[in-house]
Amino acid sequence: MLHLTFRQLSVFEAVARHLSFSRAAQELHLTQPAVSMQIKQLEENVGTSLFEQLGKKIYLTEAGHELYHYSRAIAQQLSEAEAVLGELKGLKRGKLKISVASTANYFAPQLLATFSQRFPTVTVSLNVTNRQALLVQLANNEMDMAIMGQPPDGQDLVAESFMENPLVVIAPVTHPLVQEKNIPLRRLEQETFLMREEGSGTRIAMERYFEAHRVKIRAGMEMSSTEAIKQGVQANLGLGVVSLHTVELELEAKRLSLLDVQDLPIRRHWHIVHRKDKRLSAAAQAFKNFLLDEATTVLAQTTA
């Protein structure tokens, strides 16, 4: 029988996640010798090494990888248990861990600000990342919920749309097409497009849309963020397809222009996503209800 303590598992999880004793010590507000002692005691209890050092770097051993998997699951269950017990005690507090696709970060802080004003005792953690990392986090149950575009099919996820996410074609203000109206979709075959990276939700939607309309677009440079796409379009490197929510300031300042293209924008939605087996805390359920009921209205008021 393993004789482990929750403290040892907590310290181990932090060291394994950072692959650093010093960063784990900083996160846990412990001294580095205290962290090293906890890991040493844990290794004595399990009877094998959990880390190995090569040069100045540490790595998980095979046993370490296995224990890391279980330590994360235990930590998540303890967090959920704490939330449930807190609610049963009638405590008006809670924690909310949200991850959002990088494109959604243009509006997510505004929504979280309004939510935090209504629930000031809820501690909110916001993580901004790309679509692929979001899917990994959902698979590993690392957050309460995610905000993203089109969720993947065939996974045990609950996804509910809460707001439209129109994708539009942007161009430099000096581009000749800016002056034209009702531009035929096929006319875009003559232009070069700046592309998001493979796996990006915007790119997937863009490619599917043009393929469905039998329009072959010419791909130019590949960029890893919407901000880079906008900067590239301003520099006359090509056209771009982005979420309308990401270019409102540039359009207002007349640094970019929208093209009036037939059959556009591409109609998509933003979704709030979590695992089917996820037991939502009161804070998480309140945030989900807030998005479903009020997201569009709140953003309209903040941008008015």
Question: Would you kindly state where each structural domain of the chain is located, as residue ranges?
Answer: 6-76, 95-163+278-303, 167-258
Kindly state the average pLDDT of the residues 147-168.
86
Instruction: With cut-offs at 50, 70 and 90, classify the pLDDT of residue 91.
Output: very low
Kindly state the average pLDDT of the residues 88-106.
76
Class (C level, CATH) for 95-163+278-303: alpha beta
Average pLDDT across the chain, whole number: 87
- pLDDT value at residue 45: 87
Kindly state the average pLDDT of the residues 89-101.
75
Tell me: pLDDT of 226 over 50. yes
Determine the length of the chain: 304
Tell me: pLDDT of 90 over 60. no
Note the CATH number of domain 167-258: 3.40.190.10
Tell me: pLDDT of 186 over 70. yes
pLDDT tens string 261-283: 998 899 889 999 999 888 888 88
CATH topology of domain 6-76: Arc Repressor Mutant, subunit A (1.10.10)
Instruction: With cut-offs at 50, 70 and 90, classify the pLDDT of residue 209.
Output: very high
Is the CB of residue 135 less than 8 Å from the CB of residue 154?
Answer: no
Instruction: With cut-offs at 50, 70 and 90, classify the pLDDT of residue 130.
Output: confident
- pLDDT value at residue 95: 82
How many whole angstroms separate alpha carbon 266 and alpha carbon 75?
41
- Equal fold, 95-163+278-303 vs 167-258: yes
Lowest mean pLDDT among 79-93, 129-143, 177-191: 79-93
**Per residue, what are the HEC states of the chain?**
CCCCCHHHHHHHHHHHHHCCHHHHHHHHCCCHHHHHHHHHHHHHHHCCCCEEEECCEEEECHHHHHHHHHHHHHHHHHHHHHHHHHHHCCCCCEEEEEEEEHHHHHCHHHHHHHHHHHCCCEEEEEEEECHHHHHHHHHCCCCCEEEECCCCCCCCEEEEEEEECCEEEEECCCCHHHHCCCECHHHHHHCEEEEECCCCHHHHHHHHHHHHCCCCCEEEEEECCHHHHHHHHHCCCCEEEEEHHHCHHHHHCCCCEECCECCCCECCEEEEEEECCCCCCHHHHHHHHHHHHHHHHHHHHHHC
Tell me: pLDDT of 87 over 70. no
- pLDDT value at residue 1: 63
Tell me: pLDDT of 93 over 80. no
Kindly state the average pLDDT of the residues 109-123.
88
Kindly state the average pLDDT of the residues 225-233.
92
Is the CB of residue 64 less than 8 Å from the CB of residue 16?
Answer: yes
